[in-house]
Amino acid sequence: MKYSKLERTDKGFLSRVLTLRVRSKTIQTPVRAVHLTQSAECESRNVRTASINELFRSVTPKILHQIDGDLQKQQQFTSSLVNAIQRNPHPDALNVVFFSYVSPQGITPSRRETEYLFDLMNIAGADILVPPILQGSTGVSYLQFLDQFFTVYETINHRPIMGLIPYVSHRELDGILKFYEQRGVSLFSMDFHGRHPLRLQPNITRVLRYLRKLDADFGEPSYLHGLNVGQGRALASQPVKPAKDMLTFEMGFDSFGRAHVPPKLTPDLYGKLERAEKPPIRLFNRSDYGYYVASGSSLRNLPIEKDAIISTGHFRKPADYETLRKLEKAFNAERQVYETEILRDRIGRERTLEHYLTTKTHVRPMLKLLSKLASVVKQTTL
């Protein structure tokens, strides 16, 4: 079944505008997906428009065992998803449920657990089904799990499925992509595991080259979503860091959502970070693609967004750290949704986004790399 139609492309980068039709809903890319929960502070409830809602849940074998054997706990779990969708302020947005299966021993779910995971995510209001993330899984074990998952899916098969491309080694990607190709999957979501897109350039290049060939065979463009996309790390003393997550579109992705998992630290950073110090609140500036520490001076200099739901004034009021963190996520999502609307309008109407992105001073040094990536992918032999 065809879901995507290519409308416009950028001549210098891999940015593009697609029309995606799923069931009765239609959206246009690029899209900054927003997180949807029952909380009033969640991203989806603090943006004026939304095209994709991510509903993300982490589950463990212990949680599955508990709710599988207790009907009340199961109802509480599913109600948290169903109620969020029913109270969704954006009824035309696609609702995509993502599960992350976290096993301390890295054990793959059993057939019984796989069936139960499928039943839990196959809720009313979910527009697209996605195989769960298996934290710590290898490509080989994930392929075994996919075989189980699709056996269950094919017995019901009344909703579109989005193939999850897990956070695995480069050599393991082809087997997973081949699995999806054999089942006619054309919607994909790639797990960044909290990393920013430039960190995963080799894997992203491989995926894009494979999908380019797939598009030629299927006669329609594949759809590629970035899941768990990170901003990039910075020391607390660094007043501004580049918004590397906003470059996801120029690297060939049609949509992305923020990281739901914290990035792991590399050994070289252990001694540099003050372990007791919480990460500073950082706010996205659309004018230069920087994430600024929310201090008095930066709050005064951030552009005023007309009709914004979350303003810089929210960060001047006394509040506990957890409240500020929720506001930070909503603030940044709101600005990135607005910025994505600008990109959507410019793609294809201008020869390339290069001139526009050159004005974004904090990501300007990375544009040559993105241009080279685009050249490599576009030269793929079909």
Query: Which pLDDT tens digit goes with each residue over 333-356?
Result: 999 999 999 999 999 888 899 999
Q: What is the pLDDT of residue 234?
A: 86
What average pLDDT score do residues 144-167 get? 92
Q: What is the pLDDT of residue 283?
A: 97
pLDDT band at 177 (very low <50, low <70, confident <90, very high): very high
What average pLDDT score do residues 145-160 get? 89
What average pLDDT score do residues 109-135 get? 94
Q: What is the pLDDT of residue 275?
A: 47
Q: What is the pLDDT of residue 103?
A: 87
Q: What is the pLDDT of residue 264?
A: 57
- Between 272 and 121, the more confident residue is 121
Q: What is the pLDDT of residue 381?
A: 67
pLDDT band at 267 (very low <50, low <70, confident <90, very high): very low
Q: What is the pLDDT of residue 2?
A: 82
Q: What is the pLDDT of residue 372?
A: 95
Whole-number mean pLDDT of the chain? Answer: 92
| Span 51-87, pLDDT tens digits | 999 999 999 999 999 999 999 999 999 999 999 999 9
| Span 230-244, pLDDT tens digits | 998 888 889 999 999
Q: What is the pLDDT of residue 278?
A: 81
pLDDT higher than threshold 60 for residue 270: no
Q: What is the pLDDT of residue 170?
A: 96
pLDDT higher than threshold 80 for residue 263: no
Q: What is the pLDDT of residue 329?
A: 96
The pTM for the full model equals 0.94
Does the 4-378 domain belong in CATH 3.40.640.10?
A: no
| Span 271-330, pLDDT tens digits | 554 444 688 999 999 999 999 999 888 888 898 888 899 999 999 988 899 999 999 999
Per domain, the residue ranges of the chain are 4-378
Q: What is the pLDDT of residue 272?
A: 53
In sequence order, what are the residues at sequence separation of 6 or more whose Cβ sits closer than 8 angstroms to the Cβ of residue 164? 130, 131, 132, 133, 188, 189, 190, 191, 227
